[in-house]
Structure 1
Amino acid sequence: MSQLLLNNMELTRSFFIKNVVGIDEGLVDVQPEGFNNNIHWHVGHVLTTNESLLFGFPKNTSNLPANYMELFARGTKPADWKGDVPSVSVLVTQLKDQLNRMKEIPVENLGVKLKEPFLGQETFGGLVNFALFHENLHLGHIQAMKRVIETRKNK
């Protein structure tokens, strides 16, 4: 089961990246009516959240700039962005790098119990599973936003 979870991690991230790379650059910063954020934010949010859940960002990893928490953490929004905001292409490169680091997680780490349950999960593998669920949830938002933006653009 553990190897299956790691395989799903690669499948999920590869599908996420494929879907993001295919989006017209002019659409990523459009915030359609009825949505709290834009596609750009969702890409950064998935990257930042997974870095936090799996690698302890910002305290235990320096793979992302510290300002990513201010830009992409839960409750943030593009309307409040200040300073240096990475492009989607930079974020995609970082997603690929993160996937490589995720693939290096030893299978035996998945069974490690957390000091206390977090997000309803009791093991590190549970956090990985939650991260995959979360990533797919945001992919769905991205796909819906893209469809809404393209429909309105073509009217």
Structure 2
Amino acid sequence: MSELLFKQFALTRQKFLQEIEGLNREQVSFQPEGFNNNIHWNTGHVLTVTEQFMMGYPEKSNHLPGSYIELFGNGTRPSDWTGNVPSVEELANQLKAQLERINEVPSSMLDQKLEQPIFGLETLGELANRSLFHETYHLGQIHAMKRLIK
């Protein structure tokens, strides 16, 4: 089962990266009517939340800057951004590196109980499935935004 989970991470991340590839700054910054955020935010949000779920960011992971919580965490929005915001290209590179770290997680860890349940989920494997669901949701948002932009 764990092999399928890691294959799904790879497939989902590949599709996610394909969706954002080749978009210019104007396209990733455009927020279509009816959407709460833009492609740039969605990209950083997926990176940040996956790091939270899979690596314990920011307490247990230092692979991303601490500012990502304020930029891309739940309830944030690009209209509130100040200071240095990483480009989508930088975020894409971090998404690739993150996938490599996810693939290094020993499959035996997926059965380990979390210190406390998150969203009613009790193991890292269950949280990994939630992470995949979350990423595919935002992949769909980006796909829809791209259709409205072009």
The equivalent residue for 1:13 is 13
Shift of 1:65: 0.7
Cα separation, 1, equivalents of 2:52 and 2:82: 21
CA distance in 2, matches of 1:121, 1:73: 20
* C-alpha displacement of 1:116: 2.2
Unaligned 5+ residue runs, structure 2?
none
- Inter-partner Cα distance in structure 1 for 2:106 and 2:144: 35
Structure 1's unaligned 5+ residue stretches are 151-155
- Which string of whole-angstrom CA distances, capped at 9 and with x for unpartnered residues, describes residues 45-95 of structure 1? 000000111111111111011100000000000000000000000000000
Q: Matches of 1:24 and 1:82 in 2, distance apart?
A: 21
**RMSD (CA atoms):** 1.0
Q: How far, CA to CA, are the matches of 1:69 and 1:115 in structure 2?
A: 21
* Higher mean displacement: 22-31 or 138-147: 22-31
**CA shift at 1:14, angstroms?**
1.1
Q: Output aligned runs, 1:130-149, within 5 Å.
A: 130-149=130-149
Render the CA deviation track for 1:104-153: whole Å, top value 9, x for unaligned: 01111111111222112111000111000000000000000111122xxx
TM-score w.r.t. length of structure 1: 0.93
Three-state SS of the structure 1 residue aligned to 2:5 is helix
Secondary structure of the equivalent of 2:59?
A: coil
* Aligned 1:3-152 pairs, distance under 5 A: 3-150=3-150
| More divergent stretch after superposition (61-70 vs 19-28) | 19-28
Look up the equivalent residue of 1:123 and give its one-letter code. T
Matching residue's letter, 1:75 = G
> What amino acid is the match of 1:7?
K
Q: Spell out structure 1 runs of 4+ moving beyond 3 A.
A: none
Question: Does 94-103 or 22-31 show the bigger shift?
Answer: 22-31
SS state of the match for residue 32, structure 1? coil
How much has 1:25 moved relative to structure 2?
3.5
